[in-house]
Every structure is written in C-alpha cells, then in structure tokens.
Amino acid sequence: MRVKLVRIGNSRGIRIPKPLIEQCGFGDAVELHVEHNRLVIAPERPPRQGWKAAFAGSSARDSAPLEALPPNEFDDAEWTW
C-alpha cells in the first residue's frame, strides 16, 4: 500500500487506514524503531512484559550464578577475606 507523507508542523506523518490498525492490534500508542533502514511500527508493549513468566521459569540455580564459579588468580593471590 502506498501512502503520502503529510505535514504536521515541522514533522511529517502518515495516515494508517483503520483496517490495518485493527489487523495490527494498535491501541492509542505504538512503538517505533528502525530495523535494516526500515521504519517498524509495532503495538505498544506494557513495561516488563513477560518478565514474570521468565522469572517463574528460572531455577534456584539461576538465582545465584556467581556462587558456582571456581576461584581465579585474583581470588587466590590478591583478595584477603
């Protein structure tokens, strides 16, 4: 689909047809980013979306990854407990 850029003050904008808005699931706001020299318009995501599920899927081992590391030269020679 080809659309024209319209002036909005010193900026430019596009009008997105209603069927495309509904098909993409856009609400009142969207996220914009550039990917491979293309402008990508995506539905707005709530902050930290998916974090709760990712945290629930982690194991107790993931909660303390540094404790499992063996001592290195600094630990043996430079550090005093």
* Structural domains of the chain, with CATH: 1-46 (2.10.260.10)
Centre a 10 Å sphere on the Cβ of residue 26 and count the other Cβ atoms it contains: 15
Tokens 């020679």 locate to 77
Q: With CA atoms as reference, report the closest residue to 14 among 24, 28, 1, 23.
A: 1
- Convert the pLDDT of each residue in 43-57 to its tens digit: 988 788 888 888 777
Write down the pTM of the prediction. 0.53
- Rounded to an integer, what distance in angstroms lies between the CA atom of residue 74 and that of residue 66? 15
| 1-54 residue pLDDT tens | 899 999 999 999 999 999 999 999 999 999 999 999 999 999 988 788 888 888
